[in-house]
Structure 1
């Protein structure tokens, strides 16, 4: 029997979870009970508050990451803008910082488990550092953030990466579930459910197979434009005087006020042969600045952080004496304020 566990967490999106649940339940009837589906949580049986008007759903079990079958993770529902407690990034980050991330990491390591994610569910996994280097899709508003986590954003309705299947916007939960039915139980069962629901799957399921178009990168993520822009920035930086870089030289104690808590970082910046370089130390981990660029009086660079979430942040700062101010941003997440003080 194919078992399906649909994971709930506080603030989950109803349609992300309910649409696949109905698809799988309909399949259980068509397939003569060859499939079972239940709502689960990382904590065990409990009432779970959704992000839609606080509607509650009862989860009947505890997520078992070693049980063969499908584990599906929905996204969150909340405010799209801002960084308040009811915003989607904060809801997702709270879920990331529970037992759920560890359990999903175990699930992705099981050969007999397929992990599926709908909409922001992909972000939940990615923000936990579980999708680094893997093709995936999420809601179009979260694709930049998905890329900032180290995942490979693919602008498709459904992306199949073997034991990981992800869907885009909210209604893609129907497409993900129907595709999984076809993949695991065959096209006739999937077709029977499509006829029952009077719904047909949309778009081509993306898989890393077959011929790739020669200009694929250009019309998916506009990488050529990104590279050109970086080259232009680097070219501009080479004309800066060494004395400009000295404004930022030194060791700085910096604080980044993120929507999910304050992040304390030590920055070490130096200029050598007209080239600015730097490192950031967070706890016992030190990483180098990526692509530091000085433009006018602003210093910009990218940086990979691991706490409180795994993200590639883009920084832009200015210095006034021994004081530094600026912002750090990842995808569509609200910009976080950075303040720093030179200590040497």
Structure 2
């Protein structure tokens, strides 16, 4: 039986949030992977890579796994009811509802994180509570059929974990070996715990623009919820 994976692809996506789990899923026997957007015109990632959607919201088949990647482009999605409605409808049918990096904030905006443990990029962890989630540190966090991954490269580990859950450990390990995934980073600054204070400060400055925009969006969402009916 074919397992259908659907990954949202959108303008301003962080391409590795998408392509890391995509490579894992697409390398799995018995899997079919769909890249989903409003239309099938190429979209441009945050780092200017063109990505080609394969199905539209209207044409998308029933999904066993729905995945929302992250990136600066999620800011627009937080207030896009067409996107949020699609995610809600497909999540209701999926075996697993998942995200990578700040994609979890989109799940939150769709109302899918309330009372659930979830994670995201370290620079967005504090936003999760705005959506009723229980912010939980971790490279992969699972709460029932909700699986959220941390920032960017966590999508590789996440992808393997999902494959193991659906196809078994042996298939996941086969995919891991076929991709020679055995990370040995040349530097140890991939987490807040390992990075120096200078590196953390430089990184926060680099991410400040997108964070400020996200803060403004969340303020609007919170204000709209408090308005009387």
Above 0.5 in TM-score?
A: yes
Match of 1:259 in 2: 216
Residue 37 of structure 2 is aligned to residue 55 of structure 1: no
Distance 1:66 1:196, change over 3 A: closer
Q: Which runs of 5+ in 2 are unaligned?
A: 184-214
Which of residues 139, 142, 160 in structure 2 aligns to 1:178?
A: 160
Alignment of 1:94-173 (within 5 A): 94-98=76-80, 99-110=82-93, 112-173=94-155
* The structure with more helix, counted as a fraction of residues: 2
Of structures 1 and 2, the larger Rg is shown by 1
Distance 1:265 1:20, change over 3 A: closer
Distance between the aligned counterparts of 1:145 and 1:57, measured in 2?
Answer: 28
User: Contact conserved, 2:6 with 2:63, CA < 8 A, in 1?
Assistant: no
Normalised by the size of structure 2, how large is the TM-score?
0.76
In the alignment of these two chains, the number of paired residues is 194
**Segments of 4+ moved more than 6 angstroms:** none
User: Contact conserved, 1:138 with 1:167, CA < 8 A, in 2?
Assistant: yes
For residues 108-131 of structure 1, give each alpha carbon's deviation from its aligned partner in whole angstroms, at most 9, with x where no partner exists.
Answer: 222x43211000101121133321
Residue 69 of structure 2 is aligned to residue 74 of structure 1: yes
Distance 1:261 1:2, change over 3 A: closer
Match of 2:40 in 1: 45
1:2 Cα offset (Å) = 0.4
Distance between the aligned counterparts of 2:100 and 2:221, measured in 1?
Answer: 33
SS of equivalent residue, structure 2 residue 148: strand
For residues 50-82 of structure 1, give each alpha carbon's deviation from its aligned partner in whole angstroms, at most 9, with x where no partner exists.
Answer: 111x22111010246771411111001xxxxxx
* The structure with more strand, counted as a fraction of residues: 1
Match of 2:6 in 1: 5
User: Contact conserved, 2:140 with 2:150, CA < 8 A, in 1?
Assistant: yes
Distance between the aligned counterparts of 1:148 and 1:261, measured in 2?
Answer: 8
